[in-house]
Chains A and B, each alone.
Chain A
Amino acid sequence: MIAAALVIWAIVVALAVPVWRREGAHGLKAASQSALDTGRALMIRLPLALLAASFLMQVLPVAKLVSIIGPQSGLTGILLASVIGGLMPGGPMTSFPLALVVLQGGAGVPQITALITGWSVFALHRVLAYEAPIMGWRFVGLRLASSLILPVAAGLGAQALLILIH
């Protein structure tokens, strides 16, 4: 986590240098101003979103999840897993531990693939906390419509691939 933050800040510096050389302090100030404008939308929303996700994580029924997305659940399981993934709150720090628990509990690999894909592309909390405030609802609608079939495609692809290698 600290390594990731260091890398990201190194990139910020690497971007700031050419801006400063080209436009001087004025360019840096303008860049910070636009960062501030984008960030203002998040100031109330982000803490509340994180709070909601953390609360929901405490009460999610994991055992029930496993029973409906087992390896034999086929396309129905893949569809259900896609929806569940899309509604799963939290970032990778909450969803990967959860996905591992569900996989070890006996869910199927294609179903978990669909679940992670659903979580990755739909991510309700991310839409509400970042995407809608920054990009607007029209963009969100277009992106969600364009991504509807992706989790199912990934799940079916994983199933085919598994049959191929085993």
Chain B
Amino acid sequence: MRFKTSDIVFLGLACAGGLACWYQGGWPFVIAGLAEAVGLLLMVMPQLVAGLLMGGLIARLVSRDKVASLLGRQSGIRGLLLASAAGAVTPGGPFTSFPIVHALWVAGADAGALIAYLTAWALIGLNRLIVWELPFMGVEFTLVRVLVSLPLPILAGLIARMLVRSPLLAMKKAPAE
């Protein structure tokens, strides 16, 4: 376990947040924040471990050639549609989706497909829709938001395929397995 720069950023953020809480409401606010954080951590841990395992297992199951032909640079709009559909049905939070994205990257998916997948997961993920948005925001709001969001993953994937050609935003080569 090593302490890196971004860990220090987080430590700073947590301290600043804690200070702001203390400034506004004293210790009760700080303790409420702490309790919330512990609760969240306990809640996501089992799913995080499952997500990491899913990523590792998928990396063993899918063949590089297949992913590259289905989701690679030459996969066209079909590849983006497929990636978006996969993203929309991926269950769980970032603790499941990012390990899967990493596995797909290693297996040969291109930037456009990865970004279409993530955007679909974030915007029209069925799991979040059913568990969170419908109960909180109601049917009408959810319908309006989902309808206007349907084309967005494809759009993001197309933009990514354009941007990735510029040297400034070119992708690193995928890490070897």
Contact = CB atoms under 8 A, between A and B. Distances in A.
Given A96-B133, A97-B136, A138-B172, A51 B33 contact: yes
Interface centre among A5, A51, A57, A162 (most CB of B within 10 A): A51
A54 B40 contact: yes
B156 A134 contact: no
Given A54-B37, A157-B148, A4 B102 contact: no
Contact of B160 (A56, A123, A142, A149): A142
Contact of B56 (A8, A35, A43, A143): A35
Given A48-B14, A139-B114, A39 B148 contact: no
A146 to B, nearest CB: 4
B20 to A, nearest CB: 5
B148 A161 contact: yes
B78 interface: no
Interface residues on B, range: 35 or more
Contacts of A63: none
B91 A32 contact: no
Interface residues of A, number: 85
B124 to A, nearest CB: 9
Given A35-B55, A46-B41, A50-B37, A4 B91 contact: yes
B36 A57 contact: yes
B14 A158 contact: no
B145 A147 contact: no
Interface string A127-149: 01111111110110111011101
Give chain A's interface secondary structure class: helix
Contact of A19 (B57, B92, B148): B57
B33 A117 contact: no
B6 A128 contact: yes
Nearest to A27: B60
Contacts of B131: 1, 4, 92
B139 interface: no
20 contacts: A5-B50, A8-B54, A8-B92, A15-B53, A19-B57, A35-B55, A44-B1, A45-B10, A52-B10, A53-B17, A53-B37, A54-B34, A54-B36, A134-B98, A138-B172, A142-B160, A146-B163, A150-B119, A158-B145, A161-B147
Interface of A: 1, 4-5, 7-9, 11-12, 15-16, 18-19, 22-23, 27, 30-36, 38-40, 42-59, 91-93, 96-97, 99-100, 103, 109, 112-113, 116-117, 120-121, 123, 126, 128-136, 138-139, 141-143, 145-147, 149-150, 153-154, 157-158, 161-162
Given A45-B6, A55-B30, A58-B25, 13 more contacts: A1-B43, A4-B91, A15-B57, A31-B59, A42-B48, A51-B17, A51-B33, A52-B10, A55-B21, A96-B137, A117-B149, A120-B123, A154-B123
